[in-house]
């Protein structure tokens, strides 16, 4: 394995492009929304359990039932071309799981944050079927929707809104989370997403452009996407139906299991290579003309899923889509879907394999075990980088795993030898410059777990990660949760090590 290519794992940062987008009104293109009652609190809407169960591995289908009384999204999306625009109608059932009485709900509009201006606007906001005036905050990144009546603990409300945006050819926002390049449309961070209510307030911090922007909780999604019929669609969740319409478009019906976000990519040129392993369907969507690299991507994804299933606990979703995309990061993760950069899409490529392992592991660390990616990015990124070491050790032997660990140590040593300051790994994204973010959150964060592997029984670390995954699957983990569990599993010396490495104290 080439150490030079492994060192390139640090290439997870790109250059954000400025963009001028325009709001397009969408009131006239959607059906009248279903009737809802006219008080703030509304009854829960029954879940079509059999449909959502199709998005889960058989042994996890009952997990859908656990979220019948939770947050749910319904979205009708329309993609039009000349110019390219997306119009959406969104309906959200929100359940107040806190102990507080709420007077508002808050959505995050990450597209506006990442573009640096309001490129997505909303209209026709209603709560319980009654129109309300939403309030923009934090530079159009936060949409606060006031409630006409207080929402008590355990009560639910029904929020509806419409949104739209337009984007020009060859555009790329935030590493390609939203992109229209090389014949590929990438739609991520593109719809109003509920914020997280915790510790008495709604989270409203602005994301830093060099990191992942979102912080969200688990929900069920029902999505219909209407797009030109010659576009092939890869998305979070599973497609239940694709019905061709008389106007040359196709209506795709998509459902998910419990996930914390939704992303979709489309292209006329996608080639599809699929396989099934242990009740998981893996779909590789790629540009034409590189069958060997497509097969390589499929084989390494299958291998990573198999290894992490054994090491951490089973991946609960029925499908994982791997998409070759015009992104400027090496990879970007979303629930049930990962994007990989086309410029490293090559067979027998060490770096490509490293990125596949890193991004597949995010299905455990971020997708299933959530975290605040803006303020505590190490919680998922450190484990994703450590998972590369796990992958190589299990796939190729101890020496291969040790080689990954040596590269992480070398990255840290070179930075410190060049006069860079020693920094803890548990800081917000904004506390680091570009190089520091890679060195400390990723590499040094991974070394925290490498040291636990070396200093304690490796089986004990594996047991810890399994317990962590089981306890926080579908939930949100914070740095303090890891600190507590480290102390419980490894004792006071490990707690002191955590304090130095993560907190810097």
**pTM (whole model) above 0.75:** yes
Neighbours of 314 (CB within 10 A): 18
CA 5, CA 22: separation in Å to the nearest integer?
Answer: 41
Question: Residues 261, 334: contact at Cβ < 8 Å?
Answer: yes
Partnered with residue 76 across adjacent β-strands are 89, 224
CATH 1.10.390.10 domain extents, the chain: 3-13+271-361, 378-503
Tens of pLDDT, residue by residue over 422-445, are: 999 999 999 999 999 999 999 999
Tens of pLDDT, residue by residue over 88-134, are: 999 999 999 999 999 999 999 999 999 999 999 999 999 999 999 99
Neighbours of 454 (CB within 10 A): 12
Tokens of 313: 């606990």
Residue with structure tokens 């090389």?
A: 182
User: 387-416 b/e with 16+ CB inside 10 Å = b?
Assistant: bbbbbbbbbeeeeebebbbebbeebbeebe
Tens of pLDDT, residue by residue over 337-385, are: 999 999 999 998 999 999 999 999 999 999 999 999 999 999 999 999 9
Question: Residues 256, 55: contact at Cβ < 8 Å?
Answer: yes
* Helix%, strand%, coil% for the chain, nearest 5: 35, 30, 35
Tokens of 161: 């809104």
Say whether the peptide bond before residue 291 is cis (omega within 30 degrees of 0). no
Domain range 378-503, CATH architecture: Orthogonal Bundle (1.10)
CA 71, CA 303: separation in Å to the nearest integer?
Answer: 33
Which strand (E) or helix (H) includes residue 123?
Answer: strand 121-127
Question: Residue 219's pLDDT band (boundaries 50, 70, 90)?
Answer: very high
Looking at residue 24, what is its pLDDT? 27
Most distant pair of Cα atoms in the chain: their distance: 68
Q: Which residues contact 70 (CB under 8 A, 6 or more apart)?
A: 95, 97, 218, 219, 220, 258
Residue percentage of the chain with pLDDT more than 90: 87
Neighbours of 495 (CB within 10 A): 14
| Secondary structure tally for the chain: helices H, strands E | 13, 24
Looking at residue 16, what is its pLDDT? 24
Tens of pLDDT, residue by residue over 273-306, are: 999 999 999 999 999 999 999 999 999 999 999 9
Please give the class, per CATH, of domain 3-13+271-361.
mainly alpha
């Amino acid at each position: 394995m080439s150490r030079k290519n492994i060192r390139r794992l640090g290439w997870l940062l790109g250059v954000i492009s400025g963009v001028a987008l325009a709001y397009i009104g969408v009131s006239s293109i959607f059906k009248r929304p279903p009737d809802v009652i006219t008080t703030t609190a509304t009854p829960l809407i029954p879940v079509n359990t059999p449909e959502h169960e199709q998005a889960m591995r058989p042994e996890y289908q009952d997990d859908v039932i656990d979220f019948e009384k939770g947050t749910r999204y319904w979205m009708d999306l329309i993609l039009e071309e000349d110019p390219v625009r997306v119009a959406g109608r969104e309906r959200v059932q929100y359940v107040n799981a806190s102990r507080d009485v709420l007077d508002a709900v808050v959505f995050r509009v990450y597209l506006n944050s990442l573009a640096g201006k309001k490129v997505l606007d909303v209209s026709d906001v209603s709560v319980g079927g009654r129109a309300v005036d939403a309030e923009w905050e934090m530079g159009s990144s936060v949409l606060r929707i006031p409630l006409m009546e207080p929402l008590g603990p355990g009560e639910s409300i029904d929020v509806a809104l419409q949104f739209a945006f337009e984007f020009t050819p060859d555009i790329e926002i935030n590493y390609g989370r939203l992109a229209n390049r090389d014949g590929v449309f990438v739609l991520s961070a593109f719809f109003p997403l509920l914020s997280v209510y915790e510790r008495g307030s709604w989270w409203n911090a602005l994301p830093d452009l060099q990191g992942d922007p979102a912080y969200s909780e688990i929900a069920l999604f029902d999505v219909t996407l209407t797009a030109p019929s010659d576009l092939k669609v890869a998305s979070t969740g599973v497609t239940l139906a694709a019905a061709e319409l008389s106007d040359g478009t196709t209506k795709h019906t998509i459902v998910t299991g419990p996930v914390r976000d939704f992303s979709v990519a489309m292209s006329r040129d996608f080639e599809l290579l699929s396989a099934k392993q242990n009740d998981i369907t893996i779909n590789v969507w790629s540009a034409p003309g590189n069958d060997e690299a497509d097969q390589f991507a499929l084989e390494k994804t299958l291998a990573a899923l198999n290894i992490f299933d054994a090491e951490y606990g089973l991946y609960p979703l029925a499908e994982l889509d791997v998409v070759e995309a015009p992104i400027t990061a090496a990879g970007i993760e979303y629930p049930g879907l990962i994007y990989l950069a086309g410029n490293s899409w090559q067979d027998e490529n060490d770096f490509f394999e490293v990125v596949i392992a890193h991004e597949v592991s995010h299905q455990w660390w971020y997708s299933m075990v959530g975290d605040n990616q803006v303020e505590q990015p190490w919680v998922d990124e450190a484990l994703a980088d450590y998972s590369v070491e796990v992958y190589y050790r299990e796939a190729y032997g101890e020496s291969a795993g040790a080689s990954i660990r040596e590269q992480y140590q070398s990255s840290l040593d070179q930075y410190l030898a060049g006069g860079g300051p020693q920094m803890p790994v548990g800081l917000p994204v904004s506390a680091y410059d570009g190089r520091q973010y890679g060195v400390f959150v990723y590499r040094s964060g991974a070394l925290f777990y490498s040291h636990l592997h070396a200093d304690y029984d490796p089986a004990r670390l594996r047991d810890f990660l399994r317990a962590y995954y089981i306890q926080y699957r579908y939930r949100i983990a914070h740095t303090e949760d890891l600190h507590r569990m480290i102390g419980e599993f490894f004792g006071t010396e490990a707690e002191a090590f955590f304090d130095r490495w993560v907190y810097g104290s």
